[in-house]
């Protein structure tokens, strides 16, 4: 056990304690699923910048997972290359038809990795309703409804 301590405004923690509280794959994958969903609905709504942002956040979550759970790094790198990078290209091209097909491939691809890692009971399914807490249409068309707070 390490005796090296990190100071916070609330006290000190050892490096081992900091390592212990890092998010596990379940927490990271919850974020990934939510952001993957937002990617879809933002692209569908024509908010390509938001779609790119959300997909980039999926990749950021993958970076955290690769650091905190290195046994998954190769699979995450491969998933990124095979599925996420092509989706980014479709977002860049603002090509809904290509995006929709590639997004679906990514859904099926996640099943392959869940199976490989012993989690055949985990299946990402695109929710039928878009998230209600974000504007998903083109940014230039956004107008806040009267009575809403900013």
What secondary structure, in 3-state letters, does 18-50 show?
HHHCCCCHHHHHHHHHHHHHHHHHHHHHCCHHH
Task: Give pTM, 2 decimals.
Answer: 0.86
pLDDT confidence band for 147 (50 / 70 / 90):
low
| Mean of all residue pLDDT scores within the chain | 93
- pLDDT (tens digit per residue) in 70-85: 999 999 999 999 999 9
Domain map of the chain by residue range? 23-121
Task: Compute the distance between CA of residue 104 and CA of residue 125 in angstroms, rounded to an integer.
Answer: 10
pLDDT greater than 60 at residue 148:
no
Q: How far is CA 79 from the centre of its chain?
A: 12
Dig out the tokens for 48 from the structure.
């390509």
Q: What is the pLDDT of residue 112?
A: 97
- 30 against 21, higher pLDDT: 30
pLDDT greater than 90 at residue 6:
no
Q: Is the dihedral of CA 22, 52, 77, 123 positive or negative?
A: positive
Q: How many Cα atoms within 13 Å fall on the side-chain side of residue 47?
A: 20
Mean pLDDT of 28-57: 97
- Written out in words, the top-level CATH class of the domain with range 23-121 is mainly alpha
């Amino acid at each position: 056990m390490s005796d090296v301590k990190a100071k916070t405004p609330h006290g000190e923690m050892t490096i081992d304690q900091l390592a212990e509280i890092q998010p596990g794959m379940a927490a990271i994958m919850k974020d990934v699923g939510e952001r993957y969903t937002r990617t879809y609905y933002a692209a569908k709504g024509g908010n390509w910048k938001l779609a790119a942002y959300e997909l980039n956040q999926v990749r950021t979550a993958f970076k955290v997972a690769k650091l905190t759970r290195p046994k998954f790094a190769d699979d995450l790198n491969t998933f990124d290359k095979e599925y996420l990078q092509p989706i980014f290209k479709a977002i860049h091209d603002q090509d809904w038809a290509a995006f929709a097909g590639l997004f679906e491939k990514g859904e099926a691809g996640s099943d392959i990795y869940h199976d490989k890692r012993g989690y055949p009971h985990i299946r990402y399914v695109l929710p039928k309703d878009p998230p209600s807490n974000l504007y998903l249409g083109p940014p230039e068309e956004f107008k806040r409804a009267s009575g809403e707070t900013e």
